Amino acid sequence: MTIPDVQKAWVVVRSGKPAKAVVLKADWPVPKQLKQGEVLVKIQAAAFNPVGWKMMKLPNIFSKRPHVAEHDISGVVVDANGTSFSEGDNVFGLIPVNLQLKTRQGALAEYARIPADHLMLRPPNVTPVEASGLTLAGITSYQALFHIGKLEAHQTIFINGGSTSVGAFAIQLAKARGAKVVATASSRNEEFVRRMGADEFIDYTKEPLVPYLVKNPPPTKYNIIYDAVGLLDPSLFTSSSHYLAPNGIFISTGPLPKSATLSEIWNLFRTAGAMTIPSWLGNVNRKYSLVLLKHDANDWVEFQKLVAEGSVKPIVDSVYGFEDVMKGYERILSTRAAGKVLLVLQPSIMLAFVTVGSTKFDKLIQAIFTEEVLSNLKKKGYTNLIVQCGKSLFEFADKITGGREEHIERSGVRIEFWQYKSSLEKCYKEADLVISHAGSGTIVDVLRMGKVMIVVPNDTLADNHQEELASALQEMKYLKSTSVEHLAQTIIDFDANSFEPFPPFQPTRFAKDYAISIATIHHLATHERRRNAVKRLLQAVSPSHGRVLIYVWAIEQDELSKRKVVETEESQLHPQGKDVVVPWVLSKQLSKASVTDAQSTEPQVFNRYYHMFAKGELPLLVREAAEELGLRVGVASKDLEDKLRGVEVVQDGWERSNYYVELRLWQTCM
């Protein structure tokens, strides 16, 4: 790829708050000249960190300006420069403060030169956006807990500020080690903190924290207190003899005055005294330690493993575009963020695909277009969305009738939507995530491709077969099942790394003498699916003598047929047949069982999809399936060479409004 000479970058040019200190430069040089051990990274996403805006407050004498802002990145290696990386590697990592001041590199730029040992390969279970918020906060907490605190299984850690990014990573790391976690946050973040893994929660807004802990000490004193907030007031430490074990340790991310007021400066002196005055001069007999991030290659390797195995998960509060840097700083300065505030610089095109198949699923499609679902998709890095809506009723339904498709952008997600396509296989292959109704055909097609899948059973159907199927496959860890009401939260919570690979089809498990398919294949909505079904039938019988019989509906219906075919807008006549829907009417008794008292008890009508086969279409389908399996179509003969396998069409024809074909497999001497 061609690397430009200049780039866009958000550059810190002066001291002050971000709105004053940071400006957008369109001509910042791309650092193409690399030193030994450095790589050039094309940055896809970055994270905002408290240390970023705190450093902006320092006078120029302490901060070599101008330099690019921020520290956490994820991206793609575009010049490996002879390191262990290769061009095209997906990485995440960090430009620490000391390196930033030395090289003027930072995260809020399109490119950065970074030492290779400050980067890690991004595991496939996290997106570039998610990965950009992992390193600084995650490894800071890793070193605090395991290097300074020496945290062990079955110990108890108290985390002040469990909803901060540092605190949330600390909760996950402690639980991965097998420790008990008590965490504080405001009541609005209780659910978030518990979701991170906290065993106990304390709402610091109900009562001042220190008096509460003094009055309610834990039965067993804490082994570690980890102040992820960086309190300037040292009271949590100076009163810790009531709740911190004698050999315990108090760890702080670092107190820093928010202003130059006398009270802030006085608290800073108090904290300095608490850190340095020995206990024999009246200080509390506990150890106070600051955590300062240090570069340790082993820590980075271990942290990457925890992310890859899913023990440590990304925590995303919000995501902003490259032009919205000031909005990102406003969010992090508000102190209301639960998790990381992230910035997309050059988004990878991550695609989510939603399908309802040949049915309609109003509730699902309506939910997909809501702010909550779309913003959560964006938080997970899905910037593009394709929606196959069927005949579902929703706000844009009238815009996609007659085969039209529509494109909009909402909540920062680019959306393409339409009713039907002749095949969905391309959408499945290109999608990074598939959200689907729980139709068995769709599920098998998607899982066979190794795709990440969330299924939403349609609870408006007459029976609960979709829910039963989805629950069974979720129990086997092949997919995630959820409801329309919980879809938005499921998008945030699901971990692709926790899924098991779907097993491939194993024809040798069957190898039977006969396989019969009656009135089944015509329910499959695409030619590819129908061909695959025939392939599976051919694979399910003995390759030397197996017999296969297939019956499907024909376009030509005789005068005795009771099949009532409804001609609708989606009825399509193809050279390979005709797609129609057929009304199925439930009895009043079944209708009563499937509706509430408030609903009508008149018989319910469900339109069911059928593909009505044309003359010659079924034998052609057999030929295509056989050729894909490497089978010769024709009659076995003694004159054929050895080691041939084939299939013979014994007979095919039309009977009572159906087409049928009888097949026999054969093989020559092996």
User: How high does pLDDT run on average in the chain?
Assistant: 87
Q: Check whether 462 has a pLDDT greater than 70.
A: no
Q: What is the pLDDT of residues 103-157, one digit of tens each?
A: 999 999 999 999 999 999 998 888 889 999 999 999 999 999 999 999 999 999 9
Q: What is the pLDDT of residues 158-198, one digit of tens each?
A: 999 999 999 999 999 999 999 999 999 999 999 999 999 99
Q: Check whether 465 has a pLDDT greater than 80.
A: no
For the segment 401-412, the average pLDDT, to the nearest whole number, is: 90
Q: Check whether 662 has a pLDDT greater than 90.
A: yes
If phi over 0 gives left and psi between -120 and 50 gives alpha, with beta otherwise, what is residue 81? left
Identify the pLDDT of residue 83: 95
Identify the pLDDT of residue 266: 72
Within the chain, which residue ranges are assigned CATH 3.40.50.2000? 350-493
For the segment 313-325, the average pLDDT, to the nearest whole number, is: 90
The three state secondary structure string of 103-167 is: HCCCCCECEEEEEHHHEEECCCCCCHHHHCCCHHHHHHHHHHHHHHCCCCCCCEEEEECCCCHHH
Q: Check whether 271 has a pLDDT greater than 80.
A: no
Distance CA(410)–CA(415), nearest Å, equals: 7
Q: Given pLDDT bands bounded at 50, 70 and 90, which one contains residue 501?
A: confident
Q: What is the pLDDT of residues 521-576, one digit of tens each?
A: 998 888 888 999 999 999 988 888 899 999 999 988 887 777 666 554 444 444 56
- For 507-558+604-667, CATH number out of 1.10.1060.10, 3.30.1120.130, 3.40.50.150, 3.40.50.2020 equals 3.40.50.150
**What is the CATH architecture of 149-290?**
3-Layer(aba) Sandwich (3.40)
- For residue 232 the two structure tokens come to 């300037």
The three state secondary structure string of 45-91 is: EEECCHHHHHHHCCCHHHCCCCEECCCEEEEEEEECCCCCCCCCCEE
Within the chain, which residue ranges are assigned CATH 3.40.50.150? 507-558+604-667
Q: What is the pLDDT of residues 602-633, one digit of tens each?
A: 667 777 888 999 999 999 999 999 999 999 99
Q: What is the pLDDT of residues 187-232, one digit of tens each?
A: 999 999 999 999 999 999 999 999 999 999 999 999 999 999 988 8
Identify the pLDDT of residue 568: 47
The domain defined by 350-493 carries CATH number 3.40.50.2000: yes
% of the chain surpassing 90 pLDDT: 60
Identify the pLDDT of residue 194: 95
Q: Check whether 587 has a pLDDT greater than 80.
A: no
Q: Show the DSSP H helices in 309-430 as ranges.
A: 325-333, 362-368, 371-379, 425-430
SS3 374: helix
Q: How far is CA 254 from CA 55, 230, 293, 538, in A?
A: 13, 5, 11, 68
What DSSP line would sit under 538-572, residue for residue?
HHTB-TTT-EEEEEEEBS---TT-----B--TT-E
Identify the pLDDT of residue 565: 61
% of the chain surpassing 70 pLDDT: 89
Within the chain, which residue ranges are assigned CATH 3.40.50.720? 149-290
pTM over 0.85: no
Q: Given pLDDT bands bounded at 50, 70 and 90, which one contains residue 595?
A: very low
Distance CA(600)–CA(118), nearest Å, equals: 65
Q: Check whether 512 has a pLDDT greater than 90.
A: no
Task: Count other C-beta atoms under 10 Å from residue 147's C-beta.
Answer: 14
- For residue 21 the two structure tokens come to 């200190």
Q: Given pLDDT bands bounded at 50, 70 and 90, which one contains residue 598?
A: very low
- Closest Cα partner for 259 from 65, 70, 63, 54? 54
Within the chain, which residue ranges are assigned CATH 3.90.180.10? 6-130+316-344
What DSSP line would sit under 577-629, residue for residue?
EEEEEEEEE--HHHHHHHS-TTS--SPPEEEEEEEEEPTTHHHHHHHHHHHHT
User: Of the given ranges (201-205, 360-364, 464-468), which has the lowest mean pLDDT?
Assistant: 464-468
Identify the pLDDT of residue 373: 96
Identify the pLDDT of residue 586: 62
Identify the pLDDT of residue 597: 44
User: Of the given ranges (5-9, 16-20, 59-63), which has the lowest mean pLDDT?
Assistant: 59-63
The domain defined by 6-130+316-344 carries CATH number 3.40.50.410: no
If phi over 0 gives left and psi between -120 and 50 gives alpha, with beta otherwise, what is residue 82? left
